[in-house]
């Protein structure tokens, strides 16, 4: 540690010593260049004194002002090696350009995430129910007209899949109900699906059957409810 510090200290002294000398060079260099020009003009002006004098007279006041201003500015900035302040201000500007953009991007991200979560809700169209008692619905049998596939949901939320000529098959799971319904649809080609749900069955089950019916490609889905235990 101490060795490093010792090693660093002379280095630290180095640039610190260099910087004033650089400033001195800058301070000197600018005027010397101008003086050099004036000197050269004076030297060349030996041939045509009047014209050269007018030129130098015209040039000198403006040039001196510029020189003075430049010299002052450089002397103020130079003595510290903190010329890097200029660089710092540039980097600050870069940072300030980035942050609001990032902020706006994050805000937009959050906005779209929130709106996207709302579009998760979808809807299934259902025909309006006929105003009749659920018990009378079961008695009439309009199933003679067409081929149909029927799914019964009993009071314990169990599915039974039947088609026109087939026997009822119990489908214990959602997946099996979907498979059996698709098979029945493929074998019979029936255009109609009848959902016969017990009033105490869960709404989720009805929606699942309806959804499966839409996926299987039935043209018409009809729903009935019953309060008779199966």
Partner 1 sequence: MSSQETNDVLPRRKSDDEADLDITPMIDITFLLLAFFVMVSKMDPQLPVDLPQALNGDVIPEKNCVVLVVLKGAGDDEYSIYKGLTKAGADKIVGDDPVEQEEQIAQYVEETLSRNPTIQTILIKAEGEVTTGAVETVKRGVAGSELGLTRKLYVAVESTQ
For 218, left (φ over 0), alpha (ψ -120 to 50), or beta? beta
Q: Looking at 23-31, 56-64, 108-116, 139-147, which segment touches partner 1 (CB under 8 A)?
A: 108-116
Q: Looking at beta carbons only, is 33 or 217 nearer to partner 1?
A: 217
Which residue in 37, 28, 36 sits closest to 75, CA to CA? 28
Within a 10 A sphere around the Cβ of 150, how many other Cβ atoms? 22
Dist. CA 185–CA 147, nearest whole Å: 10
- 119-178 binders of partner 1 (CB under 8 A): 119-131, 134, 153
C-alpha distance from residue 122 to each of 3, 117, 206 (Å)? 74, 11, 16
d(CA 130, CA 137): 9
Does 21 bind partner 1 (CB under 8 A)? Our answer is no
Residues in the chain, overall count: 230
Number of residues that bind partner 1 (CB under 8 A): 55
Which residue in 103, 168, 170, 220 binds partner 1 (CB under 8 A)? 103
184 to 203: interface string for partner 1, x by CB under 8 A: -------------xxxxxxx
Residues that bind partner 1 in the complex, under the rule CB under 8 A:
5, 8-9, 11-13, 15-16, 80-82, 84, 88, 92, 95, 99, 103, 106-107, 110-111, 114, 119-131, 134, 153, 197-208, 210-211, 214-215, 225, 227
């Amino acid at each position: 540690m101490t060795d490093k510090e010792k090693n660093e200290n002379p280095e630290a002294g180095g640039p610190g010593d260099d910087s004033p000398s650089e400033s001195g060079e800058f301070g000197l260099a600018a005027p010397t260049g101008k003086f050099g020009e004036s000197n050269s003009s004076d030297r060349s002006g030996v041939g045509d004194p009047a014209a050269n004098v007018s030129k130098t007279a015209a040039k000198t006041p403006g040039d001196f002002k510029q020189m003075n201003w430049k010299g002052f500015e450089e002397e103020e900035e130079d003595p510290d090696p903190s010329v890097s302040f200029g660089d710092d201000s540039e980097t600050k500007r870069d940072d300030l350009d980035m942050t609001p953009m990032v902020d706006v991007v994050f805000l937009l991200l959050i906005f779209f995430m929130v709106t996207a979560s709302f579009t998760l809700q979808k809807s299934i169209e259902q025909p309006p129910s006929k105003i009749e008692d659920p018990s009378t619905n079961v008695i009439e049998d309009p199933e003679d007209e067409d081929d149909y596939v029927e799914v019964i949901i009993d009071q314990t939320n169990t599915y039974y899949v039947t088609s026109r000529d087939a026997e009822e098959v119990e489908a214990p799971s959602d997946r099996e109900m979907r498979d059996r319904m698709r098979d029945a649809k493929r074998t019979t080609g029936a255009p109609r699906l009848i959902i016969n749900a017990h009033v105490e069955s869960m709404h989720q089950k009805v929606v699942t059957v309806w959804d499966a019916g839409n996926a299987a490609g039935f043209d018409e889905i009809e729903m009935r409810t019953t309060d008779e235990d199966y």
